[in-house]
Amino acid sequence: MKKIDVGIIIYDNSDFELAASVARHGFNVAVYADSFETMTGDEQKKILDSSSSAGMELIYELDAFLSALEIPRKIIMFSESAGLSDRILDTVLFKLDAGDVISNFCNMNYIKAGHIVEEQKKRGILYLPTGFPKGHIASDEGLAIMPGGYYEGYEILKGIFGEIAARDENGFICAPYTGPAGSGQYIKMVVDGIEYAMMEINIETVSLIRRFCDVDHDDMVDILSDLNSTESGSYFLEMLSDIYSRYDNETGKPMTEIVSDAVDYDAGAVWCCDEAMKLGMPFSVVYSSVEMRFLSLLKSERISSSRLIDDIEISPVPLSERRSFIDRLRKGTYLAGLCAVAQCFALLRAASDRYLWDLDLLAIARTMQVSTYTRSRSLNRVIEAFDRNNKLLNLFADPYFGKCAASYISYLREIVSLANDNGIPVPAISAALQYLDSYTALRLDSGTIQLAKDYLNNTGFERTDFSGRFHGNWTEHERNIDQNLI
């Protein structure tokens, strides 16, 4: 009996289409559906019919599945579900042999992923923790694949990745080798951070339009569609325009009026913030976006505290000035979005240097643009920037980003000031302004903190005119402080 080229492990029905896409590209595929026995009869029939039509062999028992594969085994495991990752991965790895390769398409902390890579390497098994976005974009356009681990494992599965990956308009295959250890999971984590920031900035933009322009839902759909046709265009604006066009079939009210304002959050965004803190990288726009989720969940507390501060009566922008106002708002929020992207790619650069990953930020940006929710016209500008200089420390060092900062900063200031004066929370947009003002400051007042630390704990301080570290004799209470080189 002919052995099978590729084994695909899936958790539920939603993963099955991903497995079928491998088979459709000419590979002899066997599928092990871990949850098959717990599916309904209709779900089982759908998988059986789909397996047959896609030319895949569905195997119900794990040992039989592994025995059916060509040696050394090539396995792809779709386990974004925590249930599969926690319950099955150890069992599968235990049953593999030296030379086998397994790519785990998962949402795993990059540190844990890196540990598994090294542990399995000792056994001769090549484990590739692979970041990927799940959703209808990936299903329609192919996957954006972010495989980490040892390169030799990537080389073995590269052909399969290339067949199921998305491609950009220039033919770039969105499955570049990201780097060793858990680098692929790290990149997916940062993609999560960008998604949170872009979503929050767009929601804050809608909030300002709604409050200051006094528009109904049909008008909002038109405004969002117009914004999406500009340089601010993104998947999120496209999505919001669609959402604002939808109504509840029970009450007839717009969906945005009947939905709760308490929003959950995922582990990836929290990991991302933790990592920025660990590496000492500014990450304020993403922090603020995640923090807004935290605040949204304090529903009862917000209701109780809503009586503490009187509402401010907002004066709508006159109809004759609405178009100009929305254009200024668009330019300011576009710059805020660039700040978020700049912070996230600066974090990737810092991680690449710290962990010796040698990340290709151009390839990462191109992968993000095609088959993830972060796709946007601004990401095209990121691609152009790294194409000009793939060693940029910060995107604002690029001419285009620098020009945007200089041209749009006044609009960003206007938006933040207007929101603050009227009591409208815009934490992500405000954080972007504070980041840009701080990042471009020739001299910050934070030097006084060095003196305060030395005053309290004898930690020393650096001077602008002499090299070395100094300690001041603060206990003498003299106007002129004696200082010693330490």
Question: Using omega within 30 degrees of 0 as the cis cutoff, is the peptide bond preceding 72 cis?
Answer: yes
Q: Is domain 189-439 annotated with CATH 3.90.1150.10?
A: no
Query: Distance between CA atoms of 241 and 222, rounded to whole angstroms?
Result: 8
Q: What is the model's pLDDT at position 389?
A: 97
Q: What is the model's pLDDT at position 56?
A: 85
- Listed residue (17, 11, 58) closest to 38, CA to CA: 11
- Supply the pTM of this predicted model: 0.93
Low-confidence ranges of the chain (pLDDT < 50): 82-83, 138
At residue 58, what are phi and psi to the nearest 5 degrees? -90, 120
- What CATH number was assigned to the domain covering residues 6-181? 3.40.50.720
Q: What is the model's pLDDT at position 164?
A: 87
Query: Distance between CA atoms of 458 and 455, rounded to whole angstroms?
Result: 6
Q: What is the model's pLDDT at position 2?
A: 64
Q: What is the model's pLDDT at position 372?
A: 84
CA dihedral 58, 62, 68, 73 (to 10 degrees): 110
Query: Distance between CA atoms of 76 and 21, rounded to whole angstroms?
Result: 12
Q: What is the model's pLDDT at position 42?
A: 80
Of the CA atoms within 13 Å of residue 10, those in its CB half-sphere come to 25
Strand 126-131 and strand 146-147: the pairing is antiparallel
Domain borders along the chain are 6-181, 189-439, 447-485
Q: What is the model's pLDDT at position 140?
A: 59
Q: What is the model's pLDDT at position 47?
A: 74
Q: What is the model's pLDDT at position 135?
A: 59
Q: Do domains 6-181 and 189-439 have the same CATH topology?
A: no
pLDDT digits (tens, 9 = 90+) for 185-230: 999 999 999 999 999 999 999 999 999 998 988 999 999 999 999 9
